[in-house]
Copies of this chain bind each other. A is one copy, B any other.
Amino acid sequence: MKAELITIGDEILIGQIVDTNSAWMAVELNQLGIEVGQITSISDQDEQLVHTLDEALQRADVLLLTGGLGPTRDDRTKKVLCDYFDSRLVLHEATLEHINDLFFKKRGIPVNQMNRDQALVPECCTVLMNKMGTAPGMWFEKEGKIIVSMPGVPYEMKYLMTHEVLPRLAKVSGRGKIFHKTVLTTGLSESYLAEQLSAWEDQLPAHIHLAYLPDPGRVRLRLSAFGHDEQTLEKEVWAEIEQIKQIIPDAIFGYDQDSLAGVVGHLLKMRGASLCTAESCTGGYLAHLLTSEVGSSAWYKGSVVAYANEVKTNVLGVDPKMIAEHGAVSQQVVEQMATNVRTLLNCDYALASSGIAGPDGGTPEKPVGSVWIALASPEQTISKWFTFTNNRERNIIRSAQTALDMLRLVLLNTP
């Protein structure tokens, strides 16, 4: 079964609001095995709505419309839909009573004309009671297709979807199912991953699709399986993921909404171990990622953000001669930062960063994007040199992700 989403109104077209409704609706529809083929945002103009409906009905079985149902004069949707289905507007008593209850009764004043108009609905539709607001939802059927109109206010739309639309759609869809799983990888570029996975990808059955979704510092692999039985699809997708694991065992750090900081925190917690950080180029971003995790105080103690060299020497006890000789961005300095902060904050593990985030500060030997990362553990101190990008924001993100991944891999190899 195929659906399309149509959002009506200028707010999205002028960029005043971001369309978050569509993503929410798509996820809900997918769970019923209904695929979203297109999302269209249009303004409140009659011809554009009629044309969009005509077009969409050629491609899809279900159209979900949001927006264009407010009481103000720029909202034309209801009248257009009424004409589109050759119907006429009639008063819906239950809606009028609901509007009266919601706003007017408690103030002791009669319903005004603008709100009375909201209780008018096309005679041919099934009214979906909107307990969250004044504009009712409307369910139309025409030549085996379903068209639903809802308000665009997110909590009103979500109420109507959850209580009225999705239960009805579940009854009429019922055949096709979709199962999605997203595998989160870090440390490998999109093109390198694609090369490594190419042979496996070639043998994927036709009903399982793969998509590469790159972010700074990670690539997500989304597997989508289409079929009739959700449990079978889930089993098939996991069997494919098992194969990916064989090819890139170290790169996979989690699934779906997992974060690298959360995964590292979980590994620390399982081992009863604690972590601290000493940050130069990441400038507190590592600490921020770690403390953004709920419950991080169980395994994270804190950070010394040693942005100035005098903080590296005075607080972290890095040898000033070492900075003079090798520079602050050097293996010697980053390793001392890690080992010294580990002692100072009395932790099992310590991560340290020192690099040139940019845009200034680069040299021919150490260009912008050069970063040293060190990890001090109970066993040893290790460090690695990286060259990232020429973009400050991305260098900070990638340095932090890389540091977390370094710790993740060491923890995985520590019982």
Chain B residues contacting A17 (CB-CB under 8 Å) are: 23, 213
Q: How many monomers of this chain does the complex have?
A: 2
9 contacts between A and B (CB under 8 A): A13-B36, A15-B24, A17-B23, A38-B41, A71-B190, A73-B194, A73-B201, A103-B189, A294-B359
Instruction: Give the residue of B42, B283, B306, B359 whose beta carbon is less than 8 angstroms from that of A292.
Output: B283
Q: Which chain B positions have C-beta within 8 A of A283? A: 287-288, 290-292, 296
Closest to A11 in B: B213
Question: Is A94 engaged at the interface, CB distance under 8 Å to the other chain?
Answer: no
Interface size on A, residues (CB 8 A): 101
A66 to B5, CA, bound (A): 19
Instruction: Enumerate chain B residues within 8 angstroms of A277, measured Cβ to Cβ.
Output: 305
**A211 adjacent to B16 (CB under 8 Å):** yes
Judging by beta carbons under 8 Å apart, are B38 and A42 in contact?
yes
Question: What 6 A-B pairs come out closest when comparing CB atoms?
Answer: A284-B287, A283-B291, A15-B26, A284-B284, A15-B27, A303-B305
What residue in chain B is nearest A308 (Cβ atoms)?
B301
B16 A18 Cβ-Cβ under 8 A: no
Query: B72 and A190: CB pair below 8 A?
Result: yes
CB of A393 within 8 Å of the partner chain = yes
A40 in the interface (beta carbon within 8 A) = yes
- Say yes or no: A302-B311 contact (C-beta < 8 A), given A39-B40, A194-B72, A283-B287: yes
Q: How far is the CB of A388 from chain B (nearest CB, A)?
A: 11
Most chain B beta carbons < 10 A, residue from A13, A22, A71, A308: A13
Q: Does A315 contact B (CB under 8 A)?
A: yes
The residue from B22, B38, B189, B292 contacting A15, defined by CB atoms under 8 A apart: B22
Q: Which residues of B contact A19 (CB under 8 A)?
A: 18-19, 22-23, 39
Q: Please measure, in the bound complex, the distance between the C-alpha atom of A22 and the C-alpha atom of B38, giving whole angstroms.
A: 15
- Chain B residues contacting A23 (CB-CB under 8 Å) are 12, 15-19
Q: Is A222 an interface residue (CB 8 A)?
A: yes
Q: A18-B19, A291-B396, A303-B303 are in contact. List 10 more A-B contacts (CB 8 A).
A: A14-B30, A37-B42, A37-B48, A38-B40, A39-B39, A39-B41, A40-B41, A70-B214, A155-B391, A297-B308
Residues of B within 8 A of A304 (CB): 302-305, 315
A314 at the interface (CB under 8 A from B): yes
List, in ascending order, chain B residues with CB within 8 A of A332's CB: none
B residues less than 8 Å from A300 (CB atoms)? 307-308
B-contacting residues, A387-409, CB 8 Å:
387, 391-394, 396
Residues of B within 8 A of A393 (CB): 155, 292
| Residue on B nearest A20 in the bound complex, by CB | B18
